[in-house]
Amino acid sequence: MIARTPRLVLREMTAGDLGPLREILGDPVAMTAYEGAFSEAESASWLERNLRRIADDGFGLWAVDLPGVGMIGECGITRQRIEDDEVLEVGYHFQRAHWHRGYATEAASAARDWAFRELEAPSVWAKVRDTNLASMNVAIRLGMTVRRRFVTRYRGIDMPHLAFAVDR
């Protein structure tokens, strides 16, 4: 187990988590900021990449379990590039059935604190597409402010982003 919050458990992801993960990555609404749902094969390779990242770095996106229900989301810390800089980012993606209950902010607060404590990260960042208001609100609730604007090219589209961060 990585962390426990008042309502949630963050734990290492496993190859067996593809089912609940598909409910996020295969949902066109949840994946709006990524220009649409991932196929089954894209979701499987996303999971494989995440497991490799955890093996290499010792951290990555963790499974978020709601006790009595099961895995409802993923949240954790990854190395990311923002233009020429490498930063530690908190990521959060939840099944649509579990939005609007404060779970993303609760899990992401635990991940942010894990990075401050275990990695002694000077700052934790969140890269947010400029159309993703729900994610911006999570970043703000994490105590983050906008530090930069940048554009990422993904799936053939130039996507303006905001880089939020909070310092230790």
Ligand X SMILES: CC(C)(COP(=O)(O)OP(=O)(O)OC[C@H]1O[C@@H](n2cnc3c(N)ncnc32)[C@H](O)[C@@H]1OP(=O)(O)O)[C@@H](O)C(=O)NCCC(=O)NCCS
Say if residues 136 and 162 touch (Cβ distance below 8 Å): yes
CB environment 68-82: b (16+ within 10 A), e (fewer)? eeebbbbbbbbebeb
Least distance from C-beta 90 to ligand X, angstroms?
A: 9
Least distance from C-beta 3 to ligand X, angstroms?
A: 16
Say if residues 168 and 116 touch (Cβ distance below 8 Å): yes
Choice between 37 and 120, CB closer to ligand X: 37
Choice between 33 and 44, CB closer to ligand X: 33
Backbone Cα Rg of the chain:
15
Q: Rule CB under 6 A: which residues touch ligand X? A: 30, 33, 92-94, 99-105, 128, 132, 134-135, 138
Least distance from C-beta 83 to ligand X, angstroms?
A: 17
Choice between 34 and 116, CB closer to ligand X: 34
